């Protein structure tokens, strides 16, 4: 089973505190994660092993750049992405345009799953009815009429809920930026 | 070497890393560089003879406030860019504050000076050398920062190089104040800033090459 963010981060912090066993656990757990990361993007297995090793060395020797208050996997994948780009530059290889779409989709997946988490967090701050109506119409793509029929509320009631909910979200986002 | 052996050898060398390790490393590189720059100023240019009395005056502290606040902002940005996933860089907009304040002082000075003397005030006695001194004195500090970066992990190399150059230039200007006898705000705003920008440009130019890892 793949280790998750919390487990990896705990090991990382243990390693930073000087616990060699935690550090070893971390590096071992990173091997499958990094192999998967690179095999989706690089296409020769020798290169993948080299890249995994280089990344492990970087994670080890540059661990002072990890900020304990921030996500571990974001830090890890930033290093992995840098190593991959550096690899392409060194080998002067050109990524074929047909495969580029896959790469972009994989990259997009990370961003969109991050955005989805943010949305769920934000919707969680609204009253349940408003959150449900926004989810139905703006995320799942139902029309107002469909959402009204499915929930048993009147259409204008649904519209008002959505309107108030979006307004509250907008205010909240503006508030958290300043 | 296979991956398991690599992991064993890496895990046999696990020293504790403190939270402040990144800042300490950048600070150390900068400090060593700054000491070299200060030694160069004192040996080659000489400290200004009236340094002690100048330190009681407004102009000296105006210059230091300007260069030190630029240094602080640039060092903060450099520390962000030393991480593979840089955090927020909007702090760089703060640079507008010291620049605006110094420009404000400059306008006041101009208002109190007859227009016939404006040019002399702007050029001072060292305008043609000042930017180059600042730029030259930035080099030891920049090299110190390059040393710091050898254990750090920048991924936006050009931006990281520019930030390091800016920090080196701004701090070099601070050191150069030990020598420079100029007193006018518009002089500092033009020629100091020019030297600092030269250092930042050099950093942006060589960053992608020298900061690779």
At A121-149, the pLDDT tens digits run 788 888 888 888 888 888 777 888 888 88
* Residues on chain A touching B212 (C-beta within 8 angstroms): 86
Hey, are the CB atoms on B6 and A24 less than 8 Å from each other?
no
Q: Smallest CA–CA separation between B58 and chain A, in Å?
A: 35
Taking a contact as any Cβ pair under 8 Å apart, which residues of chain B between 194 and 213 contact chain A? 212-213
* Structural domains of chain A, count: 2
What's the predicted TM-score (pTM) here? 0.76
Asked whether residue B11 is assigned to any structural domain, the reply reads: no
Asked whether residue B16 is assigned to any structural domain, the reply reads: no
Question: pLDDT at residue B201 above 70?
Answer: yes
Between A124 and B112, where is the model more confident? Answer: B112
Asked whether residue B91 is assigned to any structural domain, the reply reads: yes
Print the domain residue range for A51: 5-94
Nearest CA in chain B to A28: B7
* Structural domains of chain B, count: 1
What per-residue confidence (pLDDT) applies to A106? Answer: 60
Are residues A22 and A14 in contact, defined by beta-carbon separation less than 8 angstroms? yes
Q: Which of A18, A27, A75 has the CB atom closest to B84's CB atom?
A: A75
Query: What distance in Å separates the CA atoms of residue B45 and residue B170, rounded to the nearest whole number?
Result: 18
Vertex B55: Cα angle to B51 and B59 (nearest 5): 105
- Please, which pLDDT band fits residue B207 given cuts at 50, 70 and 90? very high
Hey, are the CB atoms on A68 and B21 less than 8 Å from each other?
no
Tell me the percentage of chain B whose pLDDT exceeds 70: 100
Inform me whether the C-beta atom of residue B27 falls under 8 Å from chain A C-beta atoms.
Answer: no
Inform me whether the C-beta atom of residue B155 falls under 8 Å from chain A C-beta atoms.
Answer: yes
What per-residue confidence (pLDDT) applies to B146? Answer: 96
Report the CATH number that the domain containing residue A54 is assigned in CATH: 1.10.1740.10
A90 and A120 part of one domain? no
Sequence-ordered list of residues with C-beta below 8 angstroms from that of B106, at least 6 positions apart, any chain: B184, B185, B186, B189
Print the domain residue range for B138: 21-46+58-210
Query: What distance in Å separates the CA atoms of residue B117 and residue B33, rounded to the nearest whole number?
Result: 38
Hey, are the CB atoms on B16 and A28 less than 8 Å from each other?
no
Quickly tell me which residue has 């996997």 as its tokens: A73
Inform me whether the C-beta atom of residue B1 falls under 8 Å from chain A C-beta atoms.
Answer: yes
Longest dimension (CA), chain A: 62
Query: What distance in Å separates the CA atoms of residue A27 and residue A14, rounded to the nearest whole number?
Result: 12
- Please, which pLDDT band fits residue A99 given cuts at 50, 70 and 90? low
Tokens at B142, concatenated: 């920049």
* Residues on chain A touching B152 (C-beta within 8 angstroms): 62, 64-65
Tokens at B65, concatenated: 């406030």
What per-residue confidence (pLDDT) applies to A1? Answer: 46
A89 and A123 part of one domain? no
Backbone angles phi, psi at B86, to 5 degrees: -60, 140
Q: What is the pLDDT of residues B142-183, one digit of tens each?
A: 999 999 999 999 999 999 999 999 999 999 999 999 998 888
A66 and A121 part of one domain? no
Query: What distance in Å separates the CA atoms of residue A99 and residue A96, rounded to the nearest whole number?
Result: 6
* Residues on chain A touching B84 (C-beta within 8 angstroms): 62, 65, 75, 78-79, 82
Q: What is the pLDDT of residues B6-56, one digit of tens each?
A: 998 888 888 899 989 999 999 999 999 999 999 999 999 888 888 888 888
Between B182 and B81, where is the model more confident? Answer: B81
- Please, which pLDDT band fits residue A176 given cuts at 50, 70 and 90? low
Inform me whether the C-beta atom of residue B49 falls under 8 Å from chain A C-beta atoms.
Answer: no
A122 and A88 part of one domain? no
**Nearest residue to B168 (alpha-carbon basis) of B134, B193, B141, B150:** B141
- Please, which pLDDT band fits residue A40 given cuts at 50, 70 and 90? confident
Asked whether residue A49 is assigned to any structural domain, the reply reads: yes
Report the CATH number that the domain containing residue A152 is assigned in CATH: 1.10.10.10
């Amino acid at each position: 089973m793949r280790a998750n963010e919390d487990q990896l981060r705990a090991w990382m912090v243990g390693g930073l505190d000087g616990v060699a066993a935690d550090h070893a656990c971390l590096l071992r757990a990173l091997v499958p994660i990094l192999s998967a990361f690179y095999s989706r993007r690089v296409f020769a297995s020798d290169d993948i092993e080299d890249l995994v090793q280089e990344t492990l060395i970087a994670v080890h020797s540059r661990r002072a750049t990890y900020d304990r208050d921030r996500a571990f996997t974001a830090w890890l994948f930033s290093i992995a992405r840098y190593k991959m780009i550096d690899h392409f530059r060194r080998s002067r290889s050109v990524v074929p345009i047909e495969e580029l779409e896959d790469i972009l989709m994989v990259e997009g997946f990370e961003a969109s799953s991050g955005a989805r988490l943010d949305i769920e967090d934000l919707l969680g701050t609204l009253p349940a009815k408003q959150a449900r109506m926004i989810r139905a119409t703006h995320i799942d793509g139902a029309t107002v009429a469909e959402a009204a029929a499915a929930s048993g509320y009147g259409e204008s009631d649904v519209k008002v809920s959505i309107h108030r909910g979006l307004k509250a979200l907008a205010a909240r986002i503006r508030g958290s930026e300043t | 070497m296979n991956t398991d052996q690599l992991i064993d050898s890496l895990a046999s060398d696990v020293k504790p890393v403190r939270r402040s390790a990144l800042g300490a490393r950048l600070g150390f590189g900068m400090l060593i560089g700054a000491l070299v720059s200060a030694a160069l100023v004192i040996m080659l240019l000489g400290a200004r003879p009236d340094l002690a009395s100048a330190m009681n005056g407004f102009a000296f502290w105006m210059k230091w406030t300007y260069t030190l606040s630029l240094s602080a902002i640039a060092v903060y940005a450099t520390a962000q860019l030393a991480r593979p996933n840089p955090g927020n860089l909007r702090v760089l907009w703060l640079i507008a504050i010291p620049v605006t304040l110094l420009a404000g002082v400059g306008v006041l000075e101009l208002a109190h000076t007859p227009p016939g003397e404006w040019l002399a005030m702007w050029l001072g006695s060292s305008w043609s050398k000042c930017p180059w001194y600042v730029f030259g004195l930035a080099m030891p500090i920049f090299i110190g920062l390059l040393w710091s970066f050898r254990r750090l992990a920048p991924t936006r190399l050009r931006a990281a190089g520019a930030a390091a150059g800016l920090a080196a230039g701004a701090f070099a200007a601070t050191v150069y104040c030990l020598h420079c006898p100029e007193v006018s705000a518009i002089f500092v705003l033009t020629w100091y800033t020019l030297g600092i920008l030269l250092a930042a440009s050099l950093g942006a130019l060589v960053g992608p090459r020298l900061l690779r890892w």
